[in-house]
């Protein structure tokens, strides 16, 4: 518990120390990916299925809030919620028929849905009264800044917003895991027949998890749009993004709360640095690294890296605390989180 | 009153008739055993009652209401719980977690679910193992966990599918005691079993099926001397005529 | 009217080639019960191998088959042996090891980006190959020669594979394993060798498809992605595990792609394909010829 508070304070204090916009940018993306993978985890980890097209919800969130703000002047905060609700509808539509099938079908369905939506948006300039602009994408002019418009001239406000979102989603995941839904999801994911015999409507629970997950993911889509000020189908609804989210969560450890964040912490820097330093000479290197790490982790630590990492962490904490204990007569070892 | 009534149950799998016009009933507070040679269709009967399979024909009534085609989770809410012949523990979770999944059937609060789960574990002498991962338990403990989980849902009728299989004689005796205690606490028990010692000790009534149909019914003594039963289990030569 | 018939027939020809590309996917699924997400990458690899074989040695494109098919067989065999087998061993009790899906996706990423690194992003074509752009007139219709050959190759391959699984000893062992792993192993069948062979065969068919495609299709690092997704769609349409289903599914896609542009833009046709896929998934997930699984 103590460590979490420390980390939290550190995170909030960082922008005061780190002035460089580049580093802030990297951190913002890091938190964003941690947010995305944690939301993904609600379905991919807790419910035990493999959504491989989650980026579509990012896209739905991004496009909804952007269209509403560009065409109707509606605040992105409101647009965020609308986008989230639309994502819930989409997620439920995919989930309803596929949660009864084997996992591979669900994975395929999510990919097909994501690609299908992307192709449709790429082909349409207008969907009814809404301007989609096809492959050219939508640009948000940086005119009116301020909290109400979720648009800022500097990186700092974005940093705090995404940090708060990340903390919120982590807390949410924590509470779900301790709740009836969490128990039911775990049971249904591990032994669906036994779970059903114990009163668990497995398919319904998965749908609920899917609804939460798609809603939260869409919120990140709006953030992304307001942060990068430009969205187009290949950037927000790409298979690459979907896979990256899934890979990070899987490498970190799906089904655990720390896993996705750990994964993001480990892998995003790899991605950023390999792109900065090798971008031109060795394109796609970071993806090769991702793929290799993924395979290695799946072969040797299928539950993700968080398991061995937490064990190492616990041992360090124990070592530190038993040092203190040998000086004083301690009562109990400290934070085992 | 009859807590469970099965009338004319037929279950076909393609061309195979697994259950053939079966009638049986269980009185509340009784222990009824279903026995029969391997492949006789016993687990199929359970699966039809528990909502895993839809009957091809016939009616199943639980607590006076027809339950054909209802889903396992709804039946569980109504008070019908079951265990599985091949145990299915949530192996990566602790014993306590496993049982809590069951006790959540009657509450939404985690604290209450935990409390109720601990009660059940104490009843079944598993409370000292509550933090052990279910995957690390012995087979005997896993069978007990299976019962504990089902028990936590507070059933009126408990279907036990071969809970004694793979247990040593002392473990069998312990299990018999547990089942008797459960019945005495007011739960009706419907058992599928192969271990005769347990059947004879536990049952109020026995139903014998063979090739999906009932061939005998009655008290343990009646069934043991029934020539049809002897013929089915041991063969024609053993029938004393 | 005439043109539609011509388009339709070319569409059927191309569609059969699609079926050929998806054949490996359906075989691997049928036997191992996993979806090999790296299948597109295998196809991409075979196209590169075919391309380099022809470019460096100057042989007729179809002669490259002698090199490509065995190379791909061995590659697939080894891939299954080193990377996928350990997961099967670790997840013995799981009926459907999802981890395998994850791992094959990793392989996809590695292979595609590795080839981007090594071969570079430029499109490659066999400029002077004897088949390029050749058309043949049959009954007044202009049909593409490489596609005609592709159709022939598909039918022969499908027939050979079908015969192999039905009649040969290894084939029957494979079928037995796919139906019930444990029972087959009790009969003395080495389950993992079977998987290796099946994966090898699946990869070899991708090799044949690669050879068929190289004369008229551009080769570039992400060419596999196109076929990968289309392959999933075809295989679900036709029924996972069904050889005939894969061919038929491919033909349907080929038809939609060739006739569609008469009535709408090419990219809307793409959307229709996705829509059809989702429809099948929701209405009859076992596809046209698939078996309903008890799981």
The DSSP-derived string for C97-130 is -HHHHHHHHHHHHHHHHHHHHHH-S--B--TT-T
pLDDT digits over B92-147, tens only? Answer: 889 999 999 999 999 999 999 999 999 999 988 888 988 998 889 998 899 999 99
The answer on pLDDT for A95 being more than 50 is yes
**What is the percentage of chain A residues whose pLDDT exceeds 90?**
30
Please say which residue of B154, B171, B198 terminates a domain. Answer: B154
For position B199, which CATH number holds? 3.40.50.300
CA distance C280 to C295: 20
- Taking alpha carbons only, the member of B200, B187, B127 closest to residue B156 is B187
Query: Do residues B143 and B162 share a domain?
Result: no
pLDDT, residue B236, reads: 63
Which of A46, A180, A183, A197 to mutate against chain B (most B CBs within 10 Å)? A197
| Nearest chain B CA: its distance from A183 CA (Å) | 6
Instruction: Tabulate helix, strand, coil % of chain B (nearest 5).
Output: 40, 25, 30
pLDDT, residue A321, reads: 74
Number of domains in chain B: 2
Whether the CB of B163 is below 8 Å from some CB of chain A: the reply is: no
CA distance C246 to C227: 13
* Residue in chain B nearest A189 by alpha carbon: B90
Q: Which two three-digit tokens encode residue B3?
A: 């807590």
Query: Do residues B206 and B90 share a domain?
Result: no
**Mean pLDDT on C197-211:** 90
CA distance C64 to C61: 5
Highest mean pLDDT: which range of A304-308, B72-76, B191-195: B72-76
* Residue in chain C nearest A279 by alpha carbon: C117
Q: How far is CA A233 from CA A237, A239, C267, in A?
A: 5, 11, 14
- Taking alpha carbons only, the member of C229, C234, C253 closest to residue C14 is C253
pLDDT, residue C1, reads: 57
Which residues are CB-neighbours of C188 under 8 A, at least 6 positions away?
Answer: none
Question: Nearest 5°: phi and psi at A206?
Answer: -65, -40
Strands (E), chain C: 135-138, 141-144
Question: Nearest 5°: phi and psi at C292?
Answer: -75, 125
A278: chain C residues, CB-CB within 8 Å: none
**Mean pLDDT on B45-64:** 90
Which residues are CB-neighbours of B210 under 8 A, at least 6 positions away?
Answer: B36, B37, B40, B232
The answer on pLDDT for B31 being more than 90 is yes
Task: Give the containing element (helix H, strand E) for A82.
Answer: helix A76-98
pLDDT, residue B33, reads: 92
Q: Collapsing DSSP states into helix, strand and coil, what is residue A291?
A: helix
CB atoms within 10 A of CB B221: 10
The answer on pLDDT for B160 being more than 90 is yes
pLDDT, residue B148, reads: 93
Please say which residue of B138, B154, B170 terminates a domain. Answer: B154
Which residues are CB-neighbours of A168 under 8 A, at least 6 positions away?
Answer: none
pLDDT, residue A336, reads: 41
User: Taking the CA atoms of chain B, what radius of gyration do you get in angstroms?
Assistant: 18
**Mean pLDDT on A174-196:** 90
Whether the CB of B88 is below 8 Å from some CB of chain A: the reply is: yes
pLDDT, residue A328, reads: 52
**Mean pLDDT on A187-191:** 86
Confidence of residue A98 (pLDDT cuts 50, 70, 90): confident
Query: Do residues B65 and B28 share a domain?
Result: yes
Which residues are CB-neighbours of A231 under 8 A, at least 6 positions away?
Answer: A59, A62, A63, A66, A137, A138, A224, A225
Decide if A197 and B84 are in contact by the 8 Å CB cutoff. yes
Query: Do residues B141 and B31 share a domain?
Result: no
CA distance C22 to C9: 20
CATH 1.10.1660 holds for C2-283: no
A109: chain C residues, CB-CB within 8 Å: 278, 281
* Residue in chain C nearest A291 by alpha carbon: C106
**Mean pLDDT on B24-37:** 90
Q: How far is CA A263 from CA A175, A269, A302, B126, in A?
A: 21, 10, 13, 37
Q: Which residue has the tokens 């705090």?
A: A160
Which of A198, A203, A303 to mutate against chain B (most B CBs within 10 Å)? A198
Confidence of residue A179 (pLDDT cuts 50, 70, 90): very high
pLDDT, residue C220, reads: 87
| Opening angle at CA A170, ends A178 and A187, nearest 5 | 35
Question: Nearest 5°: phi and psi at C144?
Answer: -75, 125
C11 forms beta bridges with none
Which has the minimum average pLDDT: A32-36, A78-82, A97-101?
A97-101
A43: chain C residues, CB-CB within 8 Å: none
- Containing domain of residue B231, as a range? 1-72+157-241
Cβ C248 vs Cβ C197: under 8 Å = no
Whether the CB of A142 is below 8 Å from some CB of chain C: the reply is: no
Query: Do residues B171 and B238 share a domain?
Result: yes
Which residues are CB-neighbours of C240 under 8 A, at least 6 positions away?
Answer: C26, C29, C30, C35, C286, C287, C290
Decide if A197 and B89 are in contact by the 8 Å CB cutoff. no
**Mean pLDDT on C88-104:** 72
Decide if B97 and A191 are in contact by the 8 Å CB cutoff. no
* Residue in chain C nearest A109 by alpha carbon: C278
- Taking alpha carbons only, the member of A183, A63, C136 closest to residue B149 is A183
pLDDT, residue B238, reads: 62
Kindly report the average pLDDT of chain C as a whole number.
Answer: 82
pLDDT digits over A104-139, tens only? Answer: 778 888 888 898 888 888 888 777 778 877 888 888
Query: Do residues B61 and B171 share a domain?
Result: yes
- CB-closest option in A179, A183, A193 to B101: A183
Q: How far is CA B232 from the centre of its chain?
A: 22
Query: Do residues B214 and B105 share a domain?
Result: no
Decide if B101 and A196 are in contact by the 8 Å CB cutoff. no
The answer on pLDDT for A196 being more than 60 is yes
A184: chain B residues, CB-CB within 8 Å: 101, 104
Strands across the sheet with B80-82, in order?
A: B80-82, B157-161, B188-192, B31-35, B205-210, B213-218
| Nearest chain C CA: its distance from A172 CA (Å) | 26
Please say which residue of B154, B169, B198 terminates a domain. Answer: B154
Q: Which two three-digit tokens encode residue B95?
A: 């014993």
Cβ B193 vs Cβ B176: under 8 Å = no
Which residues are CB-neighbours of A39 under 8 A, at least 6 positions away?
Answer: A169, A212, A213, A216, A217, A220
CA distance C212 to C196: 24
Which of C33, C102, C121, C235 to mutate against chain A (most A CBs within 10 Å)? C102
pLDDT digits over C18-75, tens only? Answer: 999 899 888 888 787 778 889 999 999 999 998 888 888 878 888 888 888 899 999 9
- CB-closest option in B92, B93, B149 to A198: B149
* Residue in chain B nearest A188 by alpha carbon: B90
Cβ A237 vs Cβ A121: under 8 Å = yes
Query: Do residues B93 and B64 share a domain?
Result: no
pLDDT, residue B237, reads: 63
Decide if B76 and A197 are in contact by the 8 Å CB cutoff. yes
Whether the CB of B113 is below 8 Å from some CB of chain A: the reply is: yes
- Taking alpha carbons only, the member of A278, A258, A267 closest to residue A33 is A267
- Taking alpha carbons only, the member of A85, A217, A221, A224 closest to residue A151 is A224
Please give the DSSP secondary-structure letter assigned to residue A45.
I
Please give the DSSP secondary-structure letter assigned to residue C214.
T
**Mean pLDDT on B189-196:** 89
pLDDT digits over C175-185, tens only? Answer: 777 777 666 66
Cβ A229 vs Cβ A139: under 8 Å = yes
pLDDT, residue C100, reads: 83
Query: Do residues B126 and B185 share a domain?
Result: no
Chain A positions contacting chain B at CB under 8 Å are: 178-180, 183-184, 186-187, 190-191, 193-202
Name the more confident of C151 and C177: C151
Decide if A111 and C86 are in contact by the 8 Å CB cutoff. no
| Nearest chain A CA: its distance from C189 CA (Å) | 25
Query: Do residues B161 and B61 share a domain?
Result: yes
Cβ B88 vs Cβ A197: under 8 Å = no
Decide if C278 and A109 are in contact by the 8 Å CB cutoff. yes
Kindly report the average pLDDT of chain A as a whole number.
Answer: 84
Strands (E), chain B: 2-13, 16-27, 31-35, 57-62, 65-66, 80-82, 157-161, 188-192, 205-210, 213-218
| Nearest chain A CA: its distance from C142 CA (Å) | 31
- CB-closest option in A98, A246, A291 to C110: A291
CA distance A184 to C172: 42
The answer on pLDDT for C230 being more than 50 is yes
pLDDT, residue B76, reads: 93
The answer on pLDDT for A335 being more than 50 is no
Query: Do residues B49 and B7 share a domain?
Result: yes
| Opening angle at CA A56, ends A55 and A57, nearest 5 | 90
Cβ C220 vs Cβ C124: under 8 Å = yes
**Mean pLDDT on B142-168:** 91
Distance spanning both ends of chain B, measured CA to CA: 37
Query: Do residues B164 and B238 share a domain?
Result: yes
Q: Collapsing DSSP states into helix, strand and coil, what is residue C217?
A: coil
Confidence of residue A216 (pLDDT cuts 50, 70, 90): very high
Question: Beta strand pairing status for B157-161 and B188-192?
Answer: parallel
């Amino acid at each position: 518990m103590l460590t979490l508070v420390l980390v939290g304070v550190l995170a909030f204090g960082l922008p005061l120390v780190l002035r460089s916009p580049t580093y802030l940018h990297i951190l913002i993306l890091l938190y964003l990916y941690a947010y995305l993978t944690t939301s993904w985890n609600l379905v991919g980890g807790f419910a035990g299925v493999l959504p491989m097209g989650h980026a579509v919800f990012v896209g739905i969130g991004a496009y909804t809030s952007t269209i509403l703000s560009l065409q109707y002047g509606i605040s992105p905060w409101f647009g965020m919620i609308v986008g989230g609700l639309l994502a819930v509808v989409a997620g439920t539509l995919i989930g309803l028929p596929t949660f009864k099938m084997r996992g591979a079908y669900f994975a395929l369905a999510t990919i097909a849905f994501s690609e299908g939506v992307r192709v449709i948006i790429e082909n349409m300039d207008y969907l009814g009264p809404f301007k989609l602009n096809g492959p050219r994408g939508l640009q948000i002019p940086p005119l009116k800044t301020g909290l109400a418009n979720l648009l800022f001239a500097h990186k700092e406000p974005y940093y705090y917003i995404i940090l708060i979102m990340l903390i919120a989603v982590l807390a949410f995941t924590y509470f779900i895991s301790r709740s009836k839904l969490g128990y039911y999801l775990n049971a249904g994911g591990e032994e669906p027949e036994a779970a059903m015999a114990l009163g668990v409507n497995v398919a319904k629970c998965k749908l609920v998890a899917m609804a939460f997950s798609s809603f939260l993911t869409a919120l990140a889509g709006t953030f992304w749009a307001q942060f990068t000020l430009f969205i187009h189908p290949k950037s927000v609804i790409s298979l690459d993004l979907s896979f990256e989210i899934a890979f990070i969560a899987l490498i970190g450890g799906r089904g655990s709360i720390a896993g996705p964040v750990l994964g993001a912490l480990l892998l995003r820097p790899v991605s950023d640095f390999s792109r900065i330093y090798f971008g031109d000479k060795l394109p796609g290197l970071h993806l090769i690294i991702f793929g290799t790490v993924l395979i290695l982790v799946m072969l040797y630590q299928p539950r993700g890296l968080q398991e061995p990492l937490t064990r190492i962490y616990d041992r360090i904490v124990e070592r530190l605390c038993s040092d203190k204990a040998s000086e004083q007569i301690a009562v109990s070892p400290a934070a085992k989180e | 009153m009859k807590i469970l009534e099965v009338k004319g149950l037929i279950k076909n799998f393609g061309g195979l008739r697994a259950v053939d016009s079966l009638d049986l009933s269980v009185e509340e507070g009784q222990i009824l055993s279903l026995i029969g040679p391997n492949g006789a269709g016993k687990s199929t009967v359970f699966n039809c009652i528990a909502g895993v399979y839809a009957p091809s024909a016939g009616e199943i009534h639980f607590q006076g209401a027809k339950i054909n085609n209802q889903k396992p989770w709804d039946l569980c809410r109504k008070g019908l719980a079951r265990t599985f012949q091949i145990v299915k523990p949530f192996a990566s979770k602790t014993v306590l977690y496993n049982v809590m999944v069951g006790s959540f059937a009657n509450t939404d609060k985690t604290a209450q679910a935990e409390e109720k789960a601990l009660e059940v574990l104490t009843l079944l002498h598993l409370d000292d193992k509550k933090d052990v991962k279910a995957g690390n338990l012995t087979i005997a403990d896993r069978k007990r966990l299976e019962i504990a989980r089902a028990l936590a849902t507070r059933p009126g009728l408990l279907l036990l599918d071969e809970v004694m299989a793979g247990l040593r004689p002392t473990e069998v005796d312990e299990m018999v005691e547990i089942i008797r205690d459960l019945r005495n606490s007011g739960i009706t028990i419907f058992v599928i079993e192969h271990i005769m010692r347990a059947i004879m000790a536990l049952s109020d009534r026995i139903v014998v099926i063979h090739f999906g149909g009932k061939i005998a019914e009655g008290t343990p003594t009646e069934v043991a001397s029934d020539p049809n039963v002897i013929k089915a289990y041991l063969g024609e030569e053993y029938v004393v005529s | 009217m005439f043109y539609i018939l011509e388009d339709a027939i070319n569409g059927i020809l191309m569609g059969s080639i699609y079926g050929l590309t998806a054949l490996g996917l359906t075989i691997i699924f049928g036997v191992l019960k996993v979806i090999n997400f790296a299948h597109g990458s295998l196809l991409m690899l075979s196209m590169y191998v075919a391309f380099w074989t022809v470019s460096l040695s100057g042989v007729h494109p179809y002669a490259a088959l002698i090199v490509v098919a065995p190379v791909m067989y061995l590659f697939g065999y080894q891939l299954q042996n080193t990377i996928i087998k350990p997961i099967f061993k670790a997840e013995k009790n799981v009926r459907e090891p999802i981890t395998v899906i994850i791992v094959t996706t990793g392989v996809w990423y590695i292979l595609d980006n590795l080839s981007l690194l090594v071969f570079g992003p430029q499109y490659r074509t066999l400029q002077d190959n004897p088949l390029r752009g050749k058309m043949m007139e049959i009954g007044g219709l202009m049909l593409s020669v490489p596609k005609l050959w592709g159709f022939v190759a598909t039918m022969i391959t499908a027939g050979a594979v079908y015969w192999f699984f039905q009649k040969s000893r290894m084939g029957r062992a494979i079928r037995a394993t796919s139906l019930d792993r444990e029972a087959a192993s009790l009969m003395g069948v080495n389950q993992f060798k079977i998987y290796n062979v099946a994966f090898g065969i699946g990869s070899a068919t991708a090799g044949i498809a690669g050879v068929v495609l190289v004369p008229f299709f551009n080769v570039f690092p992400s060419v596999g992605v196109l076929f990968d997704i289309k392959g999933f769609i075809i295989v679900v349409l036709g029924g996972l595990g069904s050889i005939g289903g894969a061919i038929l599914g491919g033909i349907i896609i080929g038809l939609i792609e060739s006739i569609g542009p008469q009535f709408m833009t090419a990219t809307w046709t793409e959307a229709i394909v996705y829509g059809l896929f989702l429809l099948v998934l929701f209405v009859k997930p076992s596809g046209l010829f698939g078996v309903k699984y008890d799981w």
